[in-house]
Amino acid sequence: MTGQGQTDIFIADATDRIGGLHAILEEFDLSVLSGAGVALKANFNSDDPFPASTHIDMLRGIADSILNEGPAHLTLAERSGMGATRTVLENRGVFSLAQELGFSVVVLDEIERNGWQEIQAPGLHWQRGFFIANVFTWADRVIQTCCLKTHRYGGHFTMSLKNSVGLVAKRVPGLDYDFMGELHTSPHQRAMIAEINTFYSTDLVLMDATEGFATGGPDKGKLIRPNVIIGGRDRVAIDATGVALLRSFGTSHDVSEGTIFSQEQIARASELGIGVTSADQIRLVPLDAASEPVAEKIQAQLDSGV
């Protein structure tokens, strides 16, 4: 946070994706990763190319930057919602990259009951609570990278907050219950998405918005090319910025409706104290001339009362 409850959201030109990523990372003290156990949550929900899934170059750039700081270990953990996770990660090149660079990959569908933490708390919209992977709750540091997408299956959009669904169990060994079945059929889906984020912390979120889906999603949709990388510590601010960016291109009715902070994922997350509570707490910081007009478009949407 900076100033009076403000948080900085950095925006960098991504004509060179890795150059843009490094420009963002220079704004953060990565030395805190030295000697730390680091968990990385990317976006591999389906076996579809970017922007449906994390671009392998983005993953390489992030993993390289983390490993250069000398962490105790780096672990990428994932559960795909559309397709078998192991197959998705194999086809997207994640296992090959992990072997090349020297980090671990955990397929969350394959872990035992003791790899999950049961979450039960008052006020949750989850009928039976849910289970979150210990990889993320036990990590010293958590870094997340998400994409810029709408979501046609009830989430309305899928960015940082919804990316957290991939660290929650669909099923837990020994328990006959489909948690994702509940999530995706619940009228409270967007509130439930936000609630996941209460139970783990992120140290840095990096959104690859070189391209995105302005409608459809999460696996396919109307392609847009904002050509920026966005970074910050606050998941609510990242998602609000992403929604504003989608609106600047023209997006779905669900994402266009109401104020940005009345979007249910954002509203519930703000209510729970996960991040900022209003648009005026977001300070956009363009890092180059090319990203300045993008920041201006985002700011205009954040300032809009509709």
38 belongs to a structural domain: yes
Please tell me the pTM assigned to this model: 0.96
Specify the CATH number for the domain of residue 17. Answer: 3.40.50
Q: Tell me the residue range of the domain where 235 lies.
A: 7-303
1 belongs to a structural domain: no
> Which residues in the chain come in under a pLDDT of 50?
1-4
277 belongs to a structural domain: yes
Question: Which residues lie across from 147 on neighbouring strands?
Answer: 208
294 belongs to a structural domain: yes
Above pLDDT 70, what percent of the chain?
Answer: 98
The answer to whether the CB of 133 falls within 8 A of the CB of 167 is: yes
Token pair for 306:
């509709």
94 belongs to a structural domain: yes
Number of domains in the chain: 1
2 belongs to a structural domain: no
Query: What are the percentages of helix, strand and coil residues in the chain, rounded to 5?
Result: 40, 25, 35
For position 5, what pLDDT does the model report? 82
CA angle at residue 92 from 251 to 192, to 5 degrees?
50
User: In whole angstroms, how far apart are CA 57 and each of 64, 103, 265?
Assistant: 10, 15, 29
pLDDT single digits (tens) 140-156: 999 999 999 999 999 99
79 belongs to a structural domain: yes
| Gap between the Cα atoms of 274 and 197, Å rounded | 7
For position 56, what pLDDT does the model report? 98
33 belongs to a structural domain: yes
Query: What b-and-e string marks burial along 26-52, b requiring 16 or more CB atoms within 10 Å of the CB?
Result: eebebeebeebbbbbbbbbbbbbebbb
